[in-house]
A and B are shown apart, each in its own frame.
Chain A
C-alpha cells in the first residue's frame, strides 16, 4: 500500500461520525438504575404477554360453561387453575380475557386522548392570542359537561357498548391532555431555539412537530403512564355499576364486581381478578414515577 492511500484511509477513519448521546438515551440510563420502575416494567411486560397468550394454554374458552364444575375452587386436576364462576366458566381464561379488554381500553382510550390532546393543545399554545382563547374556552365548556352522566344515561337507553366507554373516557381525558400540552407549548415557544427556527424560515407545522412536540414528549409520556391506570379504573367503576362491557365479554372491573357478590362463599372469584388489576395499576404508577424522575430536566 502506498503512503498516500494509507493516509487517505486514516483520514477516512477519522471522518467516521461520532455517535451522539441523546437526552432520551440519558433518560433511559437513569431509568435503568431505578429498580422499582424496572421491575414494574418487566412485570407489566409479563402481564401483557400472559393476557395475550395465556388463554391458549387452557383447554377452556372464556364463554364455555362447564356444567360439571360450577363454582369450584382452583384445582390443577380439572385444569381450572383459578376455579370457575357461578355459571361454570373458567376463571383463569376469563381473568386473562378481562385483562385484555381492560388493558386495551386503557391504552386505546389514552392514545386517542393523547393524539387529540397534543394536536389541540400544541396548536392553541403555539398560535396563541385569540385562537388560543377560543380553543381553551371550548375546553372549559366541555369540562363543565357531565359526560359520565351522559354516558350512563346513553347506556341505560341503548344498552352497554364498549365503544361508548371509549368515547366517554376519551372525551374526558383529552381535555386534561390539551391543557397540559398547551401550558408546556407556551413555555417552549418562548425558548430561543423556537425563535431561531422562525428566523430560519421554518414553517409553522414543522416548528410544532419538530421543535415543540419532541420537547414536551417527556411530560406527556409521564402523564400517559399515569392516565392508563386511571382509565382502567374508570372502566372498572363503570363495570362495578353494571355498565361495563357486555356479557359474555368481561373485564377486570366486571370480574371484580361478580366476585364481590360471591365473596363470602367463593373468595377465589374476587381474589384473582382483583390482584391482577391491583398489580397492573401498581406497575403503571411505579413506571410513571420512574419516568418522571428519569425525564426530569432538573438534573440535566
Chain B
C-alpha cells in the first residue's frame, strides 16, 4: 500500500448544545470516531443519509470546524496540531466543492473575482493580469466561456455555477479535492455532466478525491473505494465492487436495495421500503449498535455491545456489525 495522501485517525466532532444556564451542555456527536485513508490518485466515496455527519467530516478535514478529538494527516503533515498560519498554507493543497452551487458563490462578486480569490491568497506575487489569465484558462477547462468572467452568479444556471465552484477549487491546483454532494442540487440531466467533468479533471490533474453523496448510485460511478456512514460512525468500507456485490452491513444492504433500478420488472419485484423508520437523533443515539432501531437482523446483543469496526472483504475493507 502506498502512503495515503489523506489519513484520519479516530476523528470526533462534537457540538456542544446549550441547555440553559445551569445545566452543562450536551454534546451532539456529529462525527464519532472516523478513521480512513485515501491513497493518492484514488477516489473515496462517502455515503450516508442526511444528517449522518458527512459535511461535518469534510469541514473537519478542511479545518473549518476542527475536530474535537483525533488526528488528520495530509501527506506526512499532521493538521490538527498545526498553528493557524501553516494550516492556512495547507489549504492550498485541499479544496472543496459545495452542495448548493449558487449559495456557495458570493452574489455580489463576479465569478471571475470568485475564481481569482484563492489565487490572491496563495499567490500574492501574481499580477492582476496573470490572475485573470489563469482564471480564464481554468474557466475553459471546466467548460465555461472565458469571456463570461465579469458576470455574476445569478446570471448562470445551477450547473454552470457548479462549474464556477469547481474552477475556484481547482485554480490553485490542489492535491485533494473534497466534493460535498456536488450534484445533489442539480437536475438529473446536468448531474452526469458534472460527474463526468470531475472525473476528467481528476485524470488530467492527478487529483485525489473525497466524494460525498447521500445515495449509492452516483458514488458507484466515480469511486474506487466506498465508505458508508451511519450516525457519525463508519458502518462499512470496501473496494467499490466488493461493496456493491457483497454488502456486509445490513445498512449498506438496505441502501443498495433502495437505489432505483432502470429495469421496471426488477424494480417492482424488489421488497419495498427496506429502510423503515427515521434516523435517530444524534443527540440521543441508541445504545449498542446505533443502527439497531432500524436493523432487520438486530438481536439482543446489538442493544448492549457496540460493534467494533473489523476487517472484512478479505482484508480489503471493514464492517461494524456483530453478525456480518
A residues with CB within 8 A of B: 14-24, 191-193, 195-203, 210-211, 214-215, 300
Contacts and interface: CB of A to CB of B under 8 A. Distances in A.
8 contacts: A17-B150, A18-B150, A19-B151, A196-B104, A197-B117, A199-B62, A201-B88, A201-B89
Given A195-B64, A195-B98, A23 B108 contact: yes
Given A200-B91, A200-B121, A202-B121, A215 B147 contact: no
Interface residues of B, number: 35
Contact of B108 (A21, A22, A195, A196): A22
B135 to A, nearest CB: 11
Contacts of A196: 96, 98, 104-105, 165, 168
Nearest to A212: B106
A195 B168 CA distance: 13
Contacts of A203: 121
B111 to A, nearest CB: 8
Contacts, number: 87
A157 to B, nearest CB: 43
A200 B108 contact: no
Interface of B: 59, 62, 64, 88-89, 91-92, 95-96, 98-100, 103-110, 117-118, 121-122, 146-152, 154-155, 165, 168
A20 B152 contact: yes
A211 B106 CA distance: 7
Contacts of A214: 106, 108-109
Contact of A192 (B92, B100, B118, B155): B100
Contacts of B96: 196, 199
A197 B106 CA distance: 9
A215 B106 contact: yes
A192 B95 contact: no
Contacts of A200: 91, 95, 117-118, 121, 168
Nearest to B96: A199
Contact of A18 (B64, B147, B165): B147
A199 B95 contact: yes
Contacts of B98: 192, 195-196
Given A192-B103, A215-B108, A23 B152 contact: yes
